[in-house]
Amino acid sequence: MWTVVYIAQNKARAEKIKDVLVSEGLLVNLRGLGNDPDNMSKAVEILVPESEAEEAHEIINSILSV
């Protein structure tokens, strides 16, 4: 099951976070919010498998605290 680990304010920010997570070996999906989930110009959910959520949170917290 996929779990939301972060909501980015736009697609560009979500892609940057996704790139870091993928480089660490995690599986990542992005999903736009709103009426058109394929339109990612607004907020974007970053999802990982439930088993990788804790690791994803640690990585996200480390890159956002810089």
What's this model's pTM, rounded to 2 decimal places? 0.88
Residue-level pLDDT at 34 = 75
User: What is the amino acid identity at position 30?
Assistant: L
In this predicted model, what pLDDT tens digit does every residue of 4-46 receive, in sequence order?
Answer: 999 999 999 999 999 999 999 999 999 998 766 556 568 999 9
Asked whether 44 and 10 are in contact (CB, 8 A), the reply is yes
| Residue 53: closest CA among 16, 17, 6, 3 | 3
Domain extent for 13: 2-64
Overall number of domains in the chain? 1
Tell me the C-alpha distance between 40 and 55, whole Å.
25
The helix or strand, by DSSP H or E, that contains position 2, with its residue range, turns out to be strand 2-8
Whether the pLDDT of residue 58 is over 70: the answer is yes
**CATH code: domain of residue 33:** 3.30.70
| Beta partners for residue 15, in sequence order | none
Angle in degrees, CA 56, 59, 48, rounded to 5: 20
